[in-house]
Amino acid sequence: MPPSLTATASSLTLLTKFIREVFPLVDHELDNWHSYATEHGMRELADQALASIQSKKFHCQGGSVYSLYKGVPTRDFVRLVVALQTISDYLDNLCDRAGIADEAAFRQLHLAMTDALDPDRPVSDYYAAYPYKDDGGYLPKLVMTCRQEVAKLPSYHLVKTEILRQAELYSELQTYKHLESSVREEKMLTWINRHLPDYPELTPWEFAAATGSTLGMFMLSAAAHNPSLTPQAVSQIAAAYFPWINGLHILLDYFIDEAEDRLGGDLNFVFYYTSPEETLARLTYFTEQARTQAHGLPEAAFPQTVVDGLLAMYLSDPKADVAPTRAIRDSLLRAAGLYPRLMYRLCRLLRKKNLL
């Protein structure tokens, strides 16, 4: 069988296993967290916990694809992904939907991200600067679940520094992006410009987009299941995901939300492109870079499938059906090739069946 057909068959097998085996595990984990949030804590915090689970389930589904990486125990890894992604989504709600815009509170809340990924550090008081405090142990329990799972990874010591770097950048982004619009952009640019010299290929807002993804953390954690993992492989994975695969992930997310965010007056990094032509050019560039980087990674068929899956999942969203988003979507799919277009059609079908 020609290599391209072999890779396509492997990707289809992965996708089938993902839908049939991993989706039910994600549902099981989210049901457990939903039950806990329902039964514990004050109403204001429980409501935000439940809302994040109900509206952002697809984040946990997408991240859980890494439970199928070679050598990874699927059930344990789904538990890690769902717990960490649920922390991310819950904190996003606390910062975005509770009518609060306090930098110190947001920074303190997001210590949960780094605490979750560093079993050696003391656990923080996440609500110390937040007006609501009694979550019935929900956030600490999520943190401890992550710590228990990463402690099982035989090569976590090799990936820990890079995972914490990405988690800290993620937390800084979330701290600034939820501030009042009158101060948000200035504070974000001050923060971004400290890092941008290391990424001359990126605009400031593309760098910010790359910090907003959890995919690099998941990939590095999956790789850490390999007891023979090398520092060289860690460096390759880190460079592929940050900024390229991470950046593609979040730019696609903002791309499909563009019309919605304009109506709502929300921050959207794609707004900073000056025209639809520039948007298409930069999304195409990120796609090409992500695919090139994925091709050079260990177990290359897996990250290549992830990149193609990002295109399929986001571009199949009904929000991409509106003009001018639709024209850019169609151009990206034409350039992507046959297999991503096949995945796109499958994702459309899954959406019709309410499975995605």
Give the C-alpha separation, 18 to 68, whole Å. 7
Quickly tell me which residue has 């992930």 as its tokens. Answer: 249
Please report the pLDDT score of residue 9 as a whole number: 62
Please report the pLDDT score of residue 1 as a whole number: 34
Residues lower than pLDDT 50 in the chain: 1-3
Do residues 256 and 317 touch, judged by C-beta distance below 8 A? Answer: yes
Please report the pLDDT score of residue 50 as a whole number: 97
Please report the pLDDT score of residue 2 as a whole number: 40
**pTM of the model as a whole:** 0.94
Per-residue exposure over 37-47, b if at least 16 CB sit within 10 Å of its own CB, e if not: beebbeeebbe
Do residues 194 and 234 touch, judged by C-beta distance below 8 A? Answer: no
Do residues 195 and 207 touch, judged by C-beta distance below 8 A? Answer: yes
Please report the pLDDT score of residue 10 as a whole number: 67
Do residues 224 and 156 touch, judged by C-beta distance below 8 A? Answer: yes
Distance of CA 228 to the CA centre of its chain: 26
